A = this chain, B = another copy of it.
Amino acid sequence: MKEGPDIARIGMLIGDPARANMLTALMGGQALTATELAQAAGVTVQTASSHLSKLEDGGLIAQRKQGRHRYFALADAAAGTLLESIMGFAASRGHLRHRPGPKDPALRKARVCYDHLAGDYGVRMLDSFVARGAITSDGENLSVTAQGHSELAGLGLDLSPPASNRRPLCKSCLDWSERRSHLAGTLGKALLQHFMEKGWARRGDESRAVVFTPEGERQFLSLFPI
């Protein structure tokens, strides 16, 4: 009597508001951490963890361990297509969800990615470094040239000290809003710190947004031309 695929299982997974919010957040195509997804869903990390393992068991998402982070992303294109088609149907029936907080377009401009700058500004910064030959991009790996070292020293950044530091000086990190790489690693962290110490920028209170002052914005744009 019963035959065919178990649509109820998929429906149940998508049917919980917290999980639906996580999946919607992942529709951007960018891998997110459990903490970020918990924030997106409006639940604690414990609850989010439980949801994430269910979604993974159901084959909707996949996780990738990277350092002490676990990045979660949609399992594959089929999962994205499925969600897209459900969104299309929901929209056609006028079922819209209302989210409490305003969604900041400021996040796309500049935001914190763990400890470094991401978003439009983060991508621009790396592009500018590469264009002027301060950083060379060897496919996946990044490295600072001699010219780059002297330039950074001119900014007052000393990058030599902890030679025992296992963390790479330069690292690229994929940006969800730009879908391109921005500058991570020790250098990326140091630069963001530098901007904030100079008073050019500050972190947003409740969000990951980074807000630049008018003076800071001017300085940033002149330091990192396209």
Which residues from chain A sit less than 8 Å from chain B, CB to CB? 1-17, 19-21, 23-24, 58-59, 78-79, 81-83, 85-104, 107, 176, 206-207
A-B contact pairs, 25 of them (CB 8 A): A1-B98, A1-B102, A2-B97, A3-B98, A3-B101, A3-B104, A4-B24, A4-B87, A5-B86, A5-B88, A5-B97, A6-B97, A8-B15, A8-B16, A8-B17, A8-B97, A9-B90, A10-B14, A10-B95, A11-B11, A11-B13, A15-B15, A59-B94, A82-B86, A85-B85
Asked if residues B95 and A3 are in contact (CB atoms below 8 Å), the reply is no
Question: Is B3 touching A103 in the complex (CB atoms < 8 A)?
Answer: yes
- Nearest CB on B from A116, distance (A): 17
Q: How far is the CB of A78 from chain B (nearest CB, A)?
A: 6
Residues of B within 8 A of A12 (CB): 11-12, 15-16
- What residue in chain B is nearest A101 (Cβ atoms)? B3
**Structural contact, B15 and A11, CB atoms closer than 8 A:** yes
- A107 proximity list for chain B (CB < 8 A): 3-4
Report the Cα distance A64→B199, complex, angstroms: 55
Q: Smallest distance from the beta carbon of A221 to chain B beta carbons, Å? A: 25
